[in-house]
């Protein structure tokens, strides 16, 4: 075998191995019927923080919409649904009392600057590498256990969340 062919083959094998090794934890997915809950994550919290946010993507493979109606997290006294929005250059956040609709054959994205879960009355600080156990309850599909991966405080180790 020629040296060039060997190095190209080795390079391809090395690249494939590197990709496998660097596939991050955020690739986690949880299923509940036609719903797929992808990449649940949060950021580490500073000492003394009383709130944190949770992010994820919920995909609905059904021809019928569903609604996320409640959630829990083992680190929080309660979990609320919030939406951040910018109107005329002013950012605001509001609580969504009725839950969040997951459209038929569609998705709802909970991400920084938009929908998110608000973990309130924190019981402890979270640090990068932690896992937060929780549940999501849907109007039609029922309840599913999920786990949120905790990233560094200043960033988003989850890239573009598979998008």
pLDDT digits (tens, 9 = 90+) for 131-155: 999 999 999 999 999 999 999 876 5
State percent of the chain over pLDDT 70.
Answer: 77
pLDDT of 28 = 82
> What ranges in the chain are assigned the alpha helix state H?
3-22
pLDDT of 155 = 57
Instruction: Work out the average pLDDT over 23-34.
Output: 73
Q: Give every CB contact of residue 95 below 8 A, 6+ residues apart in sequence.
A: 80, 81, 82, 118
Tokens (6 digits) for 79: 């979990």
- Burial code (b: 16+ CB inside 10 Å, e: under 16) for 128-153 equals eebebebebbbeebeebebebbbbee
Instruction: Work out the average pLDDT over 94-118.
Output: 96
Is pLDDT larger for residue 71 or for residue 162?
71
Instruction: Judge whether 125 and 45 are in contact, CB under 8 Å.
Output: yes
Give the largest CA-CA distance in the chain: 67
Per-residue model confidence as pLDDT tens digits over 49-98: 999 999 999 999 999 999 999 999 999 999 999 999 888 989 999 999 99
pLDDT of 8 = 53
Q: What are phi and psi of 154, to 5 degrees?
A: -90, 0
Helix (H, G, I), strand (E, B) or coil at 155: coil
C-alpha–C-alpha distance, residues 118 and 46, integer Å:
16
Q: Give every CB contact of residue 129 below 8 A, 6+ residues apart in sequence.
A: 150
Please report which helix (H) or strand (E) contains residue 80, including its range. Answer: strand 76-87
């Amino acid at each position: 075998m020629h040296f060039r062919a060997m190095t190209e083959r080795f390079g391809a094998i090395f690249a494939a191995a590197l990709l496998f090794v660097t596939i991050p934890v955020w690739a986690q997915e949880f299923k509940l019927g036609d719903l797929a809950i992808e990449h649940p994550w949060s950021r580490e919290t500073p000492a003394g923080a009383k709130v944190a946010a949770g992010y994820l993507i919920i995909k609905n493979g059904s021809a019928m919409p569903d609604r996320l109606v409640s959630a829990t997290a083992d680190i929080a006294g309660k979990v609320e649904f919030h939406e951040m929005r910018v109107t005329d250059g002013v950012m605001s956040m509001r609580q969504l009392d009725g839950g969040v609709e997951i459209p038929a054959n569609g998705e709802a994205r909970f991400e920084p600057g938009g929908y998110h879960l608000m973990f309130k009355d924190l019981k402890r600080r979270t640090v990068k590498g932690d896992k937060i156990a929780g549940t999501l309850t849907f109007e039609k599909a029922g309840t599913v256990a999920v786990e949120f991966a905790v990233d560094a405080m200043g960033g988003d180790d989850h890239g573009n969340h598979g998008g």
